[in-house]
Structure 1
């Protein structure tokens, strides 16, 4: 099976660490690329410096996107991402602390594939990441 690329877009280094550890435990062939906010995500998809090298920064197969970030938040980044034809079918999972109905509804309106409130403990976080891996196994299902 080929290596799959997952972008983790979250301004919390602690949350990125937990997500990384959860993916490592899945024992899947995944390249994780960590970005700190929506502006870096936009730079990545637009191939701006330092993301020009497609070998080091391949096209993502899945994007995990936090909402509450400085500079450009997740909902704004999602809107920009979905405006690019080459990113309309890439699964984007909002992985955030917000359980506000307004954030959930707006995220789906902007085109997120799924919305997950960050679990409180590692066991539940591990289960959430395992569930998210289904989008890597069947990307066509994410587009429906």
Structure 2
């Protein structure tokens, strides 16, 4: 889903629930839109994930349920809050760094070393295992959705 700035659900400097101030849009697709924001209470950077309230298939509610069940697990974003209004549903979570596709492209040879690939693979499998352990199945695993744990990167 590509949208122009005029069609975006949020704009820079807009504030959600009198707490989270939008910095910029950082992603989007068929599911909705993702924004970088600032928590005006804690001053930390956050990610706001939104789906249109008019969207036929509402998936964010399930994502929130899964995220809440996974709190405290390794490899999982920290849930901060969620809500909805007449225009959109949203979830707020910790803002992560670059995804694996971006990190791979930034490598001098355009790929990870074998040891890094093996460590990343083990971390991804552990994260998927955590999802299975709480009774859910992730059906859309792809590099753009994977974020390495910074302390384990070489």
Shorter-chain TM range is under 0.3
TM-score by length of 1: 0.27
Structure with larger RCO (C-alpha < 8 A, sep 6+): 1
Structure ranking higher in helix proportion: 1
Structure ranking higher in strand proportion: 2
TM-score by length of 2: 0.26
